[in-house]
Structure 1
Amino acid sequence: MSKLLYGIVFALAFILVSANIGYELIDAVSTWNLSNYIKIFKSFGKRIVQFDMFTVLLTGGIIGVLYVVLKWLYQLLFVPMNRVRLIEEVGYIREVDRMSKKDMANLVQKRKNMGKPPPVYPNGWFAVAESRDLKKGESKSYSILGLDLAVFRGADGRAHVIDAYCPHLGANFAIGGRVFDNCIECPFHGWRFSGDDGKCKKIPYSSKIPETARVKAYNTLELNGFIYVWYHAEGIEPTWQPPEIEEITKGQLVFGGRSEHYINAHIEEVPENGADISHLAQVHGPIMAAGVDLRDTYNRIWEFGKHEWAGEWKQLPEGHIGQLNLTHGLKLFGVHIPVLDMKVQANQIGPGIVYLTFESSIFGKGCYLQSLAPVEPMKQKIVHQVYMHWSVPMCIRKFFLLGEAIQIERDIMIWNNKKYESKPVLTGTMEDQMLAKHRRWYKQFYSENSPTLHQSKKDLSW
């Protein structure tokens, strides 16, 4: 890509600088005078050598501007968005100017009242990685759900997830380990373990393999662009699976980008937002241009525009799925704009997966895929991917993802600074009763041995 841009830019600059030579060549052609050709090319050579400083700077400026403009256009029109925000970059207010964002986030996290949250690692399927990040024959190290995991892709293209540490002397498989067929080799002594069952298949200096030479291999599922791992505190095998989205598999909906955020809160706080209809007007009513800082979103400057939401949350018959149905409208200067209406349906599939489909009056059907996983007891990683019809330009797909990211970052400002209220004061209204219903529904993902904050608490500073 860079070579192509450089080539285009230098070609355009060359044309601009040598424009006068072109006119002289045209004159020579019209007179069919060979001596004129020779004079022109000699003159051109002298000009190349004898550029004055102004011409050099002008040419360099033209090249620089053209490169920047072309690169920006290419990124806008063809490259999916990758918006990554670290935990210190969103949702904190700096109290002391000389304090860094990271120090401020760490201070708030340490002094924050966590409340009395439920267990920190619920049972279900969780995205450990994104498919595009793991090439065939590659291994990577991840930490989620209090587990250190080695994730690798075998020779047949299948993804495998095992405990990260070799039972021999504790080396991390994913840090320097090589992949052979569907096994991963320990970088320390070359022991090879199968990604299917975790058993040791080869020890280079021993013909006998101890029966205890094995690691835990996790149930793994790859679909819709994510690699999921099954977690259950009681060791129970998967009781359900997230469905495949055929429109994505068949290429009807295509990738438009991703966003990645980190949240300092209990995992249940995030899906609970889906049932919290009354927060939509307060947090997500101001238009996107108002930004993500809740201190500014209600500034009078932005009163000309307002998002309007109406919806309902319910549990589906499958049991492990909760569904939110929303309608969205936009008012500008008090006038409803019908072409910007949207219908939204979000399916919360277990504790860590959301499929959010939307129907736009202008751009048709699209889908957000959300993955949520605890990287620490009270620190969550949330990823959104957007897919829209292949005919929708990349810049529009990116705009939809940006809109979702802005709304999430407003929520993060709440989540990062709140405690988990185990006994909330609720009204008898439908809105608050949906919250109570959601909490009862979510309890199914905890079991007797689900780790609590006290049991799994580590050093939370970074």
Structure 2
Amino acid sequence: MQGEQLAVFRGQDGQAYVVDAYCPHLGASLAAGGRVVGNCIECPFHGWQFQGEDGKCTRIPYAEKVPDFASIRTWPSCEVNGMLLVWYHREGVGPTWAVPEQREVATQEWVFRGQTKHLVDAHIEEIPENAADAAHLDFLHGTAILGGSDLRYSKSRLWEFMKHRWKGEWCPEPEPNEHCSQLLLLHSTSIFGKHIPALDLKVSVRQVGPALVFLILEHAFLGRGIILQSVTPLEPLLQKVVHTIYYQKNMPAVIPKFLLRAECLQFERDITIWNNKQYLPKPLLVKEDSSIQRHRRWYGQFYSQKGTGLPAQEGLDW
């Protein structure tokens, strides 16, 4: 939904509403100086008021009558897991699935412990496709987190004493959740070649739709929590990625903050690749890359059939 300008406000009823930013009268921005009046947003230019629920204009201070056709566009949205999410469909189709609520976040068993934001210069599909690219895990993310995210130094001999190992298997979910996919990641660490069980980590990853990911973290004695990843397209090849962590409130805050920092260091290694690579609609794949092809078929459901962005598929049989 790049190029769309939206205004977001919370009405007197406590409901969050998302509407087009510009007043249809003379184009003033409701998001810059607009005022909430009841469940309406008031234009700062002439005081026209629009309902958040259906966008209808309910008041024009200087007019005897409000035209029946006076309204602004409203956008389907939901508040879940501490996020306000907006539904967008190129053909204007309404929501066909709902974002699941994470029980521990809703009940505040897990509490907010931090957030990071990154800009990525890449095709939007590159980011979720990582889940199906098992081959890159040990190669790009195998060296010690202490090696940082600068790929010129991450494989330095200084950090060879410590290695990360990743095992992951990606698969799409069946109906009625065909818009979701699953990845189970098992992480282990060895120091001087010796496996350290205390550092083992299980990450259950669930992608919901094209740009929302739930990463549930489970550690033997450091507890459980979740990192929520959202990807918002700002331009065709510019994505804003936000990571938000919620963690067991009985655990010291330093633990989830460290886990979030570690995850983002690894993510920044991917960003270095994404920011400097090309998106190939017909990549050269080998049979061991079959999950990438499966992921592209699965992700293809989120492209408009009337659009031009549907990626081409390439076979692996040769």
CA-CA distance at 1:153 after TM superposition: 1.1
1:52-131 matched pairs, under 5 angstroms: none
Question: For 2:232, which of 352, 363, 373 is the aligned residue?
Answer: 373
Separation in 2, partners of 1:185, 1:449: 36
The residue number in structure 2 matching 1:55 is: none
Asked whether the equivalents of residues 340 and 362 of structure 1 are also in contact (C-alpha less than 8 Å), the reply is: no
Q: In structure 2, what is the equivalent of residue 60 of structure 1?
A: none
What CA distance in whole angstroms lies between the structure 1 residues aligned with 2:56 and 2:215? 39
Identity %: 52
The alpha-carbon deviation at position 448 of structure 1 amounts to 2.8
Indicate whether 1:404 and 2:263 are aligned: yes
Query: Is contact 2:303–2:309 with CA below 8 Å preserved after alignment?
Result: no
For the pair 1:240 / 2:97, whether they are aligned, the reply is yes
- Cross-structure match for 2:316: none
Number of residue pairs the alignment of both structures matches? 308
Q: Deviations over 1:372-401 (max 9, x none)?
A: 110111110110111111111011111011
Counterpart in the other structure of 2:54: 197
How far the C-alpha of 1:451 sits from its partner, in A, is 6.4
Cα distance in 2 for partners of 1:280, 1:262 equals 21
Q: What amino acid is aligned across from residue 341 of structure 1 in structure 2?
A: D
Q: Which moved more, 1:433-442 or 1:404-413?
A: 404-413
Deviation of 1:449 after TM superposition, in Å, equals: 3.5
Residues 201-258 of structure 1: CA deviation (Å, up to 9, x unaligned):
1000012112331111000100101000000011111000110001111111111100
Instruction: Work out whether 1:311 is the aligned partner of 2:175.
Output: no
- 2:129 aligned residue: 272
Larger Rg: 1
Deviation per CA, 1:401-435: give whole Å up to 9, x if none. 10111111111101111110110111112xx0000
Is the Cα contact below 8 Å between 1:146 and 1:377 reproduced in 2?
no
1:345 has 2:211 as partner:
no
Measure the CA separation in 2 of the matches of 1:260 and 1:183. Answer: 31
Contiguous gaps of at least 5 residues in structure 2 = 311-318
Q: Which runs of 5 or more structure 1 residues have no equivalent in the other structure?
A: 1-143, 454-462
The match for 1:123 is none
Q: 1:375 to 1:350 in 2, by over 3 A?
A: same
Please, what TM-score do these two structures have when normalized by structure 2? Answer: 0.95
1:84 matched to which residue of 2?
none
Kept in 1: contact 2:161–2:193 (CA 8 A): yes
TM-score by length of 1: 0.65
The structure whose residues are more often strand, as a share, is 2
Q: Which amino acid aligns with 2:270?
A: D
Q: Using the TM superposition, give the Cα deviation of residue 446 of structure 1 relative to its aligned residue in structure 2, in angstroms.
A: 0.9
Structure 2 residue corresponding to 1:263, chosen from 120, 128, 139: 120
| Larger RCO (CA within 8 A; separation ≥ 6) | 1
SS in 1 for 2:227: strand
1:211 aligned partner, one-letter code? D
Asked if 1 retains the 8 angstrom alpha-carbon contact of 2:218 and 2:225, the reply is yes
Equivalent-residue separation in structure 1 for 2:44 and 2:306 (angstroms): 34
Q: CA deviation at 1:450?
A: 3.8
RMSD over equivalenced CA pairs, Å:
1.2
